[in-house]
Amino acid sequence: MSKIIINSIIEWIAENDNTLMERVLWVEHSGESIIVISLDDLKALPFFRMKAEIEKGMSEGIAILRPIDPYSILASPAPNFLAKHREERDRAWEIIKVLAMDVPFIYYENYRGPAVRKIAKEKTCSVSTIYKHLRNFWIRGMIRNALLPMYQKCGAPGKLRRVKFEHESNKPIKRGRPSLQARSFPEMAGVNVDEEIRKVFSVAIRTLYNTRKCRTLTSTYQKMKEDFFNIGHHANGAKILPPAHTLPTYDQFDYWYRKEKDLVKSIKSREGQRKYELTCRPLLGNSTSLAFGPGAIYQIDATIGDVYLVWSLDRNWLIGRPVIYFCIDVFSRLITGIHVGLEGPNWIMAMMALSNAMTDKVSFCAKYDIAITCEAWPCCYLPCQYTADRGELLCDNSDGLVSSLDITVANCPPYRGDFKGIVERQFGRVNQKTVKWLPGTVRKREPGERNCALDAKLDLKEFMQILIYDVLEYNLSHRIDTKRYPMGKDMIRDGVEPIPIELWNWGIVNRSGHLRQKSPQAVMLALMPKITGKVTEQGIRANGMFYGCQRALDEQWYQRARRKGNWDIQVCHDPRNIDTINVILADGTAEPCSRLVDKCDSNERFNDCYLEDVQEYYGVENLKSQLYRSTAQQSTADFNTFKQQIIDNAIKSTKEANPKNISNSQRLQNIKKNRTAARDHRREEEKWDLRPKGDVSGPGKLLPFAGGNEFPVIIPSSDRYLGEIDKAEMDEEDQ
């Protein structure tokens, strides 16, 4: 059982669950008698309780020792209180200090009365004032600060004021300090805000102010008066308002708005949920707490660099602003991967940044003529998770991260850059420290000022070199503010400095288990976009082109496709290189395939082209085909119409020319004879004659030949000149 000592708070629990608190003022030497005072009675005086009574209440659960003193705030240092309040405290102490120190006699009723009256006479103050100071001293903890004035409890804060009425006229009295107008003209004192006016205020705030129109509070007040307090309309439609002193003032409107406003609801109504979450929500957490160690979470994002670049092949050519990608480790703040390109942002650029974050940095820096050691940039591992926005990683191409590399992809909600604030802040740091001071940097252009793009001097490689040096300097020497990075107890114990490389190295030793490593080829295969190809008798068709490999020849893929039909196959490829693709086999391995190019093959037309060129070609062809559909449909409709007209005319003519006395068998028997007659007639119509018109000789006439001789030319007119072959063909047809 807890020990009862001076200044302890005993809390008694009544049957109706009400509580009564008493403070222990004095404990007898034997411990049997205890003097207490009630904290709930404004006119309380000390009285005796027996220790056995208190212990019994504690054993029965109707009394407890309260662990927290309700007046513990008074133990704060004196400078926290106003000077005039400290003066009042000291005056009260001078009055009662003799009585307060006269323990335990002051607690006895017979002794206390005469002693208080004596001090009241000496200090020339009332007895009630002394009793008030003594009660405050005893109830609030028996310290000098217990005599401080408690003005914060005065005035019924937060409660509505009642309206008072004049005795004679029974008119309501205007609450609050009278204005200059009210002091000069009492009849224009103004109005009190009652329940009905407060309802009007609430409706006006909800319908006029808390909307996406973003009306100001002043204009809302004016609109409220026009809509809810008008007394009519002029002939032109303008609203008539009553005198100003009969309307609530703007100060009253503003007071009730601030008193009853819901700040969160107001922001969401005026600016939207997204703006509230981004700029107004409470910041009660930290991203670092989500990452246990290095490699637990990487954040990735891209931005357009605020600098113009030139082309390395012709430095007079401006090539615009680069796209910068950063990958950063959440636990250590170490920048693990970068990429600078001229496309996107798109998956190809993100693919390069992801690959850079998971591959060796020594060889990467060597490509830009920068020599480093592995210890300077020790990032060649696969993380457990990538956090990105709803951009490049929100696509089917990112499935390879999950399926092949076992990396979780987490995409932030729309327009919530604060979910990956660590990498977002890196762009601001790089811009302020490095990019802002480069030639060709973007700046606000004043009228008549030279275009900043004309100051561009750096090419892509030179800019990349500067960016690499900036990243190395940040990783190796940037000290993170400990207010933004919560250091754990084990970090503090080991003396870890909040520098990215030190946090990374410490985490590798003490927070390991997240990092994994794969070969660059495996990383590239996992990141390359996946498409569905088709094995055909002409080769492996992908992106409208044909590819081949030795495995396909050895396993007779093309012969099987020609014999049994085509089948689908999964392919990964780099869109920047259309000469090769990689066929993904059943065991998960990849088989490189080269583009089939032959002089007689249409694949040759795509030499020296990019995938975009091929896709553009097929896209244009597809568009032309779709645009030609109307012409093709109309042409077919016209053909069908003409064809049907000819058929209908033929049927009609045949019916008219067929006498009823010729049977079907007779018609069939005369096919050979009829064919001969029709052929002769056709020959007569189609024969060639190069003689001038009008010079026509009869059949069998001898025509003069060069040299004066005559050469017999016979113009056939019967079937006796038919060859044996023609007769044989006709016999076949008759059969």
Using CA atoms, how far apart are residues 511 and 329, in angstroms rounded to an integer?
13
Instruction: Calculate the dihedral angle through the C-alpha atoms of 548, 550, 555, 558, rounding to the nearest 10 degrees.
Output: 20
Give the pLDDT score at 139: 92
Contact 269, 256 (CB under 8 A): no
> For 455-487, how does the pLDDT look when each residue is reduced to its tens digit (9 = 90+)?
889 988 899 999 999 999 999 999 988 878 888
- CA angle 630/632/633 to nearest 5° reads 65
pLDDT at position 694, please?
64
423: buried, middle or exposed (CB in 10 Å: 19+, 13-18, 0-12)? buried
pLDDT at residue 77 in the model = 67
How many Å separate Cα 530 from the centre of its chain? 26
pLDDT at 432: 87
Q: Spell out a b/e string for 611-626, using b for 16 or more CB atoms within 10 Å of the CB, else e.
A: beebeeeeeeeeeeee
- Say what the pLDDT of residue 706 is: 47
pLDDT of the residue at 118: 92
426: left (phi over 0), alpha (psi -120 to 50) or beta: alpha
- By the 8 A CB rule, do 499 and 541 touch? no
Q: How many whole angstroms separate alpha carbon 406 and alpha carbon 410?
A: 13
User: Strand, helix or coil at 441?
Assistant: strand
Name residue, tokens 């004192």. Answer: 189
For residue 447, count other CB atoms closer than 10 A to its CB: 4
Given a cut of 50, the residues of the chain with pLDDT beneath it are: 599-600, 703, 705-725, 728-729, 735
Residues 6 or more apart whose CB falls under 8 angstroms from that of 141 comprise 7, 23, 69, 71, 72, 74, 75
With tokens 């809302």, the residue in question is: 220
User: In this predicted structure, what is the pLDDT of residue 289?
Assistant: 66
